[in-house]
Structure 1
Amino acid sequence: MSAPINPPPLLQTTVGDFPLGECRLAVGGRERSVSYTAAVVTREDESQFLTDRADGLPYGVALWPAAIALAHELAIRADEFRGRSVLELGAGTGLPGIVAVSYGAVVAQTDRQELALHLCRLNGDRNRAAGVEYRLADWTAWGDDRRYDWIIGSDILYADTFHPHLRRIFETNLTAGGRVLLADPYRADSLPLLESLETNGWRVAHSRWSIGEGTAARPIAVYELSPPRAGENGS
């Protein structure tokens, strides 16, 4: 992650204008440029961000380490995304979806916060991510009945109150043979949903990324979830 170059415009909101930082990342040999209100990488960054967060901005307008890890995971698996349909949940700044569309995926990016989705669209435009669908969507009032080859998300398992809604989306919005790819900074609250899915026949694979530098680097898990095959226990 490099220092800001030619800072992008302000993020204009009803509660004020917020300066945007810029992160330029080399992912899969290509440079992406992502705007954000704050970059949260280390645990100290996160603690400070949560302590200082008095402006009412949604979490999604910050750049989180799980999004960076998921972007790298997508890049090394580019062949698995070409021509595939992808649903991104809690898209925030939109980095993973931007990477997916650059490898030929058909991407729908969703977020329940209009401001986050606005920033997501700005970042898509900055990276020439053509053809992306941007959609306001609330997991607790989910109305999408389409099926996708992939469902992806960055740090979306943080609250167990959302787990039943996320599980319903995983179970109803995947194509036959579809998979879920989730990046998570090893949050304890994420484990119950993963364990429950595994108990019910889902296969859970796991890779590990380190985001940041030196001793402050943040370990990030990327979980690949595959639903039970026909005839297996999926109750």
Structure 2
Amino acid sequence: MPTKNKREWFETCLGQYLLEREQNYFDKAVADVFGYNAMQIGFPQYDFLRANRMPLQFCAGTEDGAAVLAAPDFLPIETNSIDLVLLPHILEFSSNPHQILREVQRVLMPEGHVIVSGFNPRSLWGVRGLFGLPEDTFPWRGNFIALPRLKDWLTLLDFEITRDRLCCYAPPFSQEKWLKRFTFMEAAGDRWWRFSGGVYFVTAVKRVHGMRVIKPEWKEVRARRRSMAPVAQKIKDAAQQNEPRRAARTKAEEGKN
């Protein structure tokens, strides 16, 4: 599908409805992820990393505006070098989503984070794509991936799922007045029909088997030193008190000799 169609769709009221909720989620999700290097794959016109504080942030993809022009399934990135990767709606529009996840697993450092957003096929958004829409219409032309299936893929790649969330519970109306009438569904969605959100987010951490994270023990060392200080002082005081006795004993022994 031409990139132009994608950009035009995000300028519609439905696209803005989705974009607002995705940006809010990413802002909260990336704020507390720390490290040095963060990478967003795709959608260079939107800065989903803006709330993150890592010194190096960049976007990789095949679209104009990407800092690194590269296919997401073959990234020219060093292995174990990235602390955070964002995948906003990349997998469902790729012919090889497994390879993209393998590349993400490769470039991520141990304990690195990946955050994926995708369209939920088990929702009103997923159903709409079945009603005779043009094949090149974004986003309905995508191969939507079910949330449990995506979790299985990540688990097989030694990722640990740490968080998932859904949003966009209102039906995907193309007219703004109808979207506003159904905004009540957004507020109640997480409570009453959590798994029917049109969009999901998954956060996962790369785990490496057999690796033990070594944490600094400065606090423990300081605590041991503090606990030993009174004991050392007592020993020093006792030695000072016994010094006259040892001196007198030494003189007595010398007198006998």
TM-score by length of 1: 0.55
The change in CA–CA distance for 1:140 and 1:37 in structure 2 (over 3 A counts) is: same
In structure 2, the partner of 1:215 is 182
Q: CA deviation at 1:171?
A: 1.5
The answer to whether residue 203 in structure 2 is matched with residue 224 in structure 1 is yes
Alignment map for 1:41-56 (pairs within 5 Å): 45=14
Q: Which amino acid aligns with 2:90?
A: I
- Paired AA for residue 39 in structure 1: F
Q: What are the residue-to-residue correspondences of 1:96-107 with 2, within 5 Å? A: 96-100=48-52, 103-107=53-57
1:203 alignment partner in structure 2: 160
User: RMSD over aligned Cα, in angstroms?
Assistant: 3.4
Specify the code of the residue in structure 2 equivalent to 1:180: V
- Match 1:71 to one of 6, 23, 32: 23
Q: Distance in 1 between matches of 2:199 and 2:12?
A: 10
TM superposition shift of 1:93: 1.8
> Would the aligned equivalents of 2:89 and 2:118 in 1 still touch at CA under 8 Å?
yes
- Once the 2 structures are TM-superposed, how far is the Cα of residue 78 of structure 1 from its aligned partner? 5.1
Q: Deviations over 1:44-66 (max 9, x none)?
A: x5xxxxxxxxxxxxxxxx8682x
| Cα-to-partner distance string for 1:176-211 (whole Å, 9 max, x where unaligned) | 110100111214732344322224542223112338
Distance 1:227 1:83, change over 3 A: closer
Deviation of the 1:108 alpha carbon: 1.3
Contact kept? 2:98, 2:153, Cα under 8 Å: no
Give the equivalent residue in structure 2 for 1:171. 105
Whether 1:150 and 2:84 are equivalent positions in the alignment is: yes
Q: Which residue of 1 aligns with 2:45?
A: 93
Partner of 2:117: 183
Give the conservation status (yes or no) of the 8 Å contact 1:181–1:222.
Answer: yes
CA drift of 1:160 comes to 5.7
Counterpart position of 2:68: 135
Query: What is the CA-CA distance between 1:173 and the residue it aligns to?
Result: 0.7
**Counterpart check, 1:113 vs 2:63:** yes
Q: How far apart in 1 are the matches of 2:208 and 2:181?
A: 42
Corresponding residue for 1:31?
none
Q: CA deviation at 1:224?
A: 0.5
Distance 1:76 1:224 in 2: 12
Which whole-Å CA distance do the structure 1 matches of 2:72 and 2:88 have between them? 15
**Equivalenced residues, count:** 161
Q: By how many angstroms is 1:162 displaced?
A: 2.2
Q: Which amino acid aligns with 1:175?
A: M
Equivalent residue letter for 1:190: I
Q: Which has the higher helix share?
A: 2
SS, match of residue 196 in structure 1: helix
Give the letter for the 2:103 counterpart. I
Q: 1:200 to 1:143 in 2, by over 3 A?
A: closer
CA 1:225 to 1:207, structure 2 compared with 1: closer, same or farther past 3 Å?
same
Post-superposition Cα deviations, 1:105-131, rounded to whole Å, max 9, x if no partner, equal: 5211112123xx2xx6xxxxxxxxxxx
- CA deviations over 1:138-180 (Å, ceiling 9, x no partner): 1244322252111002111214622132122121110111010
